[in-house]
Amino acid sequence: MIINKDTLEFNKNIFSKNFIRRFLHTESASGVLLIIFSILAIILANSDLSYYYYLVKNTYLTIHIDDFLLKETVHHWVNDGLMAIFFLVIGLELKREMINGNLSTISSVILPGIAAVGGMAVPAAVYLIINSNQPLATPGWAIPTATDIAFSLAVLSILGNRVPVGLKIFLLSLAIIDDLGAVMVIALYYTSDISFVYLMYALGSFTLLMILNMLNVRFVSVYLFVGLFLWYFILHSGVHTTIAGVILAATIPFSVKKSDHSPLKFLEEKLHTFSGFIILPLFAFFNADINLDSLSITSLSNTVPMGIMLGLLLGKPIGITLLTYISIKLKFCNLPSNVSIIDILGVSFLCGIGFTMSLFINTLAFSESADLISFGQQYSKSGIFFGSILSGIIGYIILKVQLKDSSVNENESAKLDEQK
């Protein structure tokens, strides 16, 4: 699809002045809802109602039409179905930002991109070093590399207007790139028993979606219909279904010739609230069933939770802050306006809130065998819990002390919105 000057001019008007504020508000409110549903899951899983909680979680839901049969538990429908929609939204956000947003120029991508690399590489290294003598633990290396954007922005929102807009955008851009990295890890590492027949079917679906894009088809329903087949084929191919969401997002046109309609913006707006207020809370509810008996300081003596906790608590801030500092000193990029390296340190701790995304990768990392499932469920969730909580608290304290209330940030926000 060709994007000309008129198209870009139109796109500047597409996104209202308050788009960033509305996005951050939705993510922050979603983070609060995530906390509520996570606490509810923990309470139910550790109470006399645990039988009914796990009964619902493991209930099979079936779609049976003639010879077509799709049978999965509620837990798997959430993780394989709804999470594919979540990553569709992530893909739409990423595409919009790359075409006409905070990642639309090379210079705007460099800083959060470098920070995201550090925020994934160092936590993984910390985990692998700590678990170097534990072969069963190796699949969990990607667990501490994740960032829960909703939780992170929820904590940041508590600080109010004292947070510079540039710092908010840095966190948002870093988290989006981090999510893209998570998708690549899932596709390349957590994939087994590949069915090349279904992969070819998926490739055919992708080809059809690209043809629709080149023909400037504007109807989102057509893309979603083909996307359902793409999701089904990928589900049976052995590749995780989250990839289907990202692939579908890449094919939905940002704009259509001779039209003021933006299919991408339309779908993003329709799904963003659903993703934040329905999908993520449901995911947290069915995945945050942490056994409180395992949540003790002694449980951290095991290398798995220790590696995850230190990966989130130390690996994230060290990786993000160190690579950011080095890239600035080497003049590869500059810090955002009114943002200091200490502010980056505070935000980097917030990126250590892995929670729902770490839990999601945890379900993939320890799922190959009964031994691995037991291994992961017994140890890893306590590391995610302690690492995320401590990272959030430390990040909040640093930013609380570092940042001061200032109306300047409101004026800065208004200027930024006018530029958008």
pLDDT of res. 12: 44
Measured CA to CA, the distance from residue 152 to residue 28 in angstroms comes to: 8
Beta pairing partners, 68: 65
Alpha helix segments (H runs only) across 59-195: 74-76, 83-100, 106-130, 149-158, 165-188
pLDDT of res. 17: 43
Q: Tens digits of per-residue pLDDT, 269-302?
A: 899 889 888 998 999 899 888 877 766 666 777 8
Instruction: Judge whether 240 and 364 are in contact, CB under 8 Å.
Output: yes
pLDDT of res. 2: 42
CA angle 288, 292, 293 (to 5 degrees): 140
- Neighbouring CB atoms inside 10 A of 137's CB total 25
In degrees rounded to 5, what are phi and psi of residue 70?
A: -135, 110
In total, the chain counts a number of residues equal to 420
pLDDT of res. 177: 87
Beta pairing partners, 60: 73
Q: What is the largest CA-CA distance in the chain?
A: 64
pLDDT of res. 258: 66
Q: What is the pLDDT along the chain (420 residues), one digit of tens a residue?
A: 444 444 444 444 434 445 555 555 556 677 788 889 989 999 999 999 999 999 999 999 998 887 788 999 999 999 999 999 998 998 898 888 888 877 777 877 899 999 999 999 999 999 999 999 988 888 899 999 999 887 888 888 788 778 888 888 898 889 888 888 888 888 888 876 788 899 999 999 999 999 999 998 889 999 999 999 999 999 999 888 888 999 999 999 988 676 677 899 999 989 988 988 899 899 989 988 887 776 666 677 788 899 999 999 999 999 999 999 999 999 888 888 889 999 999 999 999 999 888 988 988 888 765 566 665 666 788 899 899 999 999 999 999 999 875 444 445 444 544 544
SS3 45: helix
Measured CA to CA, the distance from residue 198 to residue 236 in angstroms comes to: 6
pLDDT of res. 232: 95
* CATH assignment of 5-419, among 1.20.1530.10, 3.40.50.300, 1.10.10.10, 3.90.960.10: 1.20.1530.10
pLDDT of res. 408: 47
Is 0.75 surpassed by the pTM of this model?
A: yes
- What distances in angstroms separate CA 84 from CA 195, 221, 239, 251, 411, one per listed residue? 19, 17, 12, 15, 38
Q: Where are the domains of the chain?
A: 5-419
DSSP state of 277: I
Measured CA to CA, the distance from residue 51 to residue 295 in angstroms comes to: 20
- Neighbouring CB atoms inside 10 A of 418's CB total 8
In degrees rounded to 5, what are phi and psi of residue 61?
A: -115, 130
Measured CA to CA, the distance from residue 287 to residue 54 in angstroms comes to: 11
